[in-house]
Structure 1
Amino acid sequence: MAEDVSFEPAPLDRASAFYVAGHNGLVGSAIWRKLQDEGFSNLIGRSSSELDLKNREAVFDFFRENKPRYVVLAAAKVGGILANNTYPVDFLSENLRIQVNVLDAARQWGVERLLFLGSSCIYPKFAEQPIREDSLLTGHLEPTNDAYAIAKIAGIMQIQAVRRQYGLPWISAMPTNLYGPGDNFSPQGSHVLPALIRRYDEAAKAGQASVTNWGTGAPMREFLHVDDMADACLHLLENYDGSSQVNVGTGSDVTIKDLAAVIASAVGYTGKIEWDVTKPDGTPRKLLDVSMLTQAGWKASIPLEEGIRSTVEWYRQNIESIRS
């Protein structure tokens, strides 16, 4: 069985072919922007209509024809609590197929550096806070999104297996809750922060006297602007080589109730905020320990209130064309 090859931290070659899988999504589009800003001149992206990553033959053909030197696997079927809880088969099956196809093809066609992106939902529901990387597989998952989590855990395991069996310096990173331009603002399929932005913006425009949110508002969540995430991804590709997944977050969290208040203020909503306690809260707290990321030389730079304000502006400017 092969040992990890020697990887010395160094800038990636800006002229080499770099494939961003999922380049139209929230994370992928931010990574694409970051790479463009950093001078990468040979970026490769395919929409889902151009390349169905669930089609193994098509994925292998794509890698054979394009032979990317670097890959970020940001493509995934994603959604909020409602979507994950309603369609677990879709979230498990589709994500497993996407990951296995891309990772197998990347290995066969000699991808040098690859970053697999997962999610903080891989960790046990009641993991000790803040959650360290070694908490993986130490307890039960949050049942409302366990299918998605299992798929992402499988991706981490495949990265580690490739490192052991083939000696490739591939890595994986687990972001906390992300938000920013390009997010999904659908009432049914979005995560909490963009869902609240849409809800409060519409309530402000309609002059609603009150807005009711799911749960108690007590759970605590950590939020990272997607532009910070993109910056962290490039930093890890150029500076980190290890078998453990790396947590990517801010190191601080906020209650959903406080988040709602910040968003209401950002959109100019002045009505009453109410809570439907018959609806599920999900995981009570989910704060990532970012010590490993800090040791690798990176930390977040976009404050939450600033990031929310800019996201509200983007939402309003793009309301006709965003995913809704």
Structure 2
Amino acid sequence: METNTKIFIAGHRGMVGSAIHRKLLQEGFQNLIVRNSRELDLRNSIEVEAFFRAEQPEYVFLAAAKVGGIMANNTYRADFLYENLMIQNNVIHCAWKYGVKKLLFLGSSCIYPKLAPQPLKEEYLLTGLLEPTNEPYAIAKIAGIKMCDAYRAQYGCNFISAMPTNLYGPNDNYDLEKSHVLPALIRKFHEAKRQQLPEVVLWGSGTPLREFLHVDDLADACFHLMQTYNEAGLVNVGVGHDLSIKDLALLIRDVVGYQGAIVHDLSKPDGTPRKLMDVAKLTAVGWQAKIGLEEGIRRVYAQLGNETWF
């Protein structure tokens, strides 16, 4: 990509898309095309085709998706499957139809089987049953990976797929019904500190292990892959190490400065026991994460400051 290359960032107002947008601007790219959901409904094939016909982007970062945590995924199962399928089908198909030089499709670590060996290698895709609570979202993302590979095989399209681990950072979602675990815990501890509550309730046992990547690191990895990687299949994007949800809660409690207790609601689901990415493939193409977890959480919480961000 040259700095005057015409680049479409689908989902530029979300956490991932906005990080990619910031990264490209920092790298001097000026010809960036963005549309919010009111201006362009990516679920609507007519609107998407009209957009590609008019704009003719050369490169596409497909970061648009309907996303959420365990509760949202399990509650809005039809919405997560339908909307994500429609978004990626429309964008990937039009990218082929209108001659996009390269497309990067972004998925999630939830594509892997619930009980896959750890750490998760790219070749473990479709080797077992998915985690039931987020199966619809995972199926949609698996379909996106396979769609990119199918268009590559049939039409020679340079469409690549990156699967990030659990993300956090600027423009995250702090709605307790829809958020992922890390922002949900930041909110819970922040509100407990502000209201001087004696305890914070943690879903499940706290024993599941999770890996967390700052979204600015993901954007850096996406930029690197778009510049250097041109192969079929998928690439894991992560940090290569994990910690328990309980240890995450203790870390966030310290960052927030909350002094109360942590109690477990064992009636709530734990989700997948462990999700650690094998990042050897990404390391081999010259990229590693730079932002440590404590540093990243402190950065996020400092950025939030005293704003009314809930």
TM-score (norm 1): 0.95
Q: In structure 2, what is the equivalent of residue 81 of structure 1?
A: 70
Change (3 A) 1:100 1:279: same
Q: Which of 288, 292, 295 in structure 2 is aligned with 1:303?
A: 292
Name the counterpart of 1:28.
Answer: 17
CA displacement, residues 47-80 of structure 1 (integer Å, 9 cap, x when unaligned): 0011000110000000111111000000000000
Letter in 2 for 1:290: V
Corresponding residue to 1:168 among 157, 161, 173: 157
User: For 1:129-163, what per-residue CA distance to the aligned partner results, in whole angstroms no more than 9, with x for missing partners?
Assistant: 00000000000000000000000000000000011
1:129 alignment counterpart: 118
Q: What percent identity do the matched residue pairs reach? A: 59
1:315 Cα deviation from its structure 2 partner: 2.5
- From the superposition, tell whether residues 260 and 100 of structure 1 become closer, same or farther in structure 2 (CA, over 3 Å): same
Q: Work out whether 1:45 is the aligned partner of 2:45.
A: no
Quick one: which of 140, 147, 157 aligns to 2:146? 157
Paired letter, 1:164: A
Structure 1 residue aligned with 2:166: 177
2:91 aligned with 1:107, yes or no? Answer: no
Amino acid aligned to 1:133 = E
Aligned equivalents of 1:204, 1:14: Cα separation in 2: 46
In terms of mean alpha carbon deviation, does 249-258 or 311-320 score higher? 311-320
- Residues 253-278 of structure 1: per-residue CA shift (max 9 Å, x gap): 01000000010111110101111112
Q: For residue 231 of structure 1, what is the aligned residue in structure 2? A: 220
What secondary structure does 2:236 align onto? strand
Q: Which amino acid aligns with 2:302?
A: E
SS in 1 for 2:61: strand
Which residue does 1:9 correspond to in 2? none
Question: Which 5+ residue runs of structure 1 have no aligned equivalent?
Answer: 1-11
Q: 2:267 aligns with which of 271, 274, 278?
A: 278
Question: Runs (4+) of structure 1 moved beyond 4 Å?
Answer: none
Secondary structure at the counterpart of residue 126 of structure 2: coil
CA distance in 2, matches of 1:319, 1:35: 29
Partner of 1:294: 283
Gaps of 5+ in 2: none
- The structural deviation recorded for 1:308 is 0.3
Alignment match, 1:201: 190
For residues 185-230 of structure 1, give each alpha carbon's deviation from its aligned partner in whole angstroms, at most 9, with x where no partner exists.
0011000000000010000011111111100000000000000000
**The 10-residue stretch of structure 1 (139-148 or 310-319) with the greater mean CA deviation from structure 2:** 310-319
The answer for the alignment partner of 1:262 in structure 2 is 251
Displacement after TM superposition at 1:317 (Å): 5.0
CA RMSD, Structure 1 to Structure 2 (Å): 0.8
Whole-angstrom CA distance in 2 between matches of 1:140 and 1:314: 39
What is the SS of the residue equivalent to 2:302? Answer: helix
TM (normalized to structure 2)? 0.99
CA distance in 1, matches of 2:211, 2:308: 25
For 1:319 and 1:196, locate their aligned partners in 2 and report how far apart those are by CA, in whole Å.
16
The corresponding residue for 1:319 is 308
Aligned length: 310
The residue aligned with 1:139 is: 128
Tell me which amino acid in the other structure corresponds to 1:21.
A
Q: Which amino acid aligns with 1:309?
A: R
Which residue identity is paired with 1:169? Answer: N
Q: 1:188 to 1:239 in 2, by over 3 A?
A: same
